[in-house]
């Protein structure tokens, strides 16, 4: 199996932009879709990005996803940060045998 590596934590001020990376250890990041999930404390996760760069209905367009084959990584970018964006964010992808989650990134907005 492969691993997805995320920064443990990031911090930014309201109104700013933050990018969270997710680097795949083996296999091409572009070969298998990447999803991003947001988990607020005490709540179940929800999808904020699916299929690399698609946004579910109801998710603000401040959230966007991208893939960079050169670094074999995916990124979640949140613009115009709000305090309510503070949460844990997980990337997730798969190979032929299993899905894999990244370790999660704690976003602090202050």
Measured CA distances, 2 to 29, 72, 86 (Å): 11, 12, 28
Q: Is 57 or 70 the residue whose CB approaches another protein more closely?
A: 57
Contact 74, 34 (CB under 8 A): yes
Per-position x/- string for 27-56, each x denoting binding to another protein as judged by CB under 8 A, each - no binding? -----xx-x-x-x----xxxx--xx----x
**Residue in 18, 21, 90, 107 binding another protein, rule: CB under 8 A:** 90
Residues that bind another protein (CB under 8 A): 1, 32-33, 35, 37, 39, 44-47, 50-51, 56, 88, 90, 92, 94, 96-104
């Amino acid at each position: 199996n492969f691993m997805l590596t995320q920064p443990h934590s990031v911090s930014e001020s309201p109104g700013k932009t933050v990018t969270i990376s997710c680097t795949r250890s083996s296999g091409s990041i572009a070969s298998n879709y990447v999803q991003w999930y947001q988990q607020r404390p005490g709540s179940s996760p929800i999808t904020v990005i699916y299929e690399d760069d698609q946004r579910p209905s109801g998710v603000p367009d401040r959230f966007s996803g991208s893939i960079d084959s050169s670094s074999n990584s995916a990124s979640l970018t949140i613009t115009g940060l709000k305090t309510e964006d503070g949460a844990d964010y997980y990337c997730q992808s798969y190979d032929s045998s299993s899905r894999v989650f990244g370790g999660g990134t704690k976003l602090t907005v202050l």
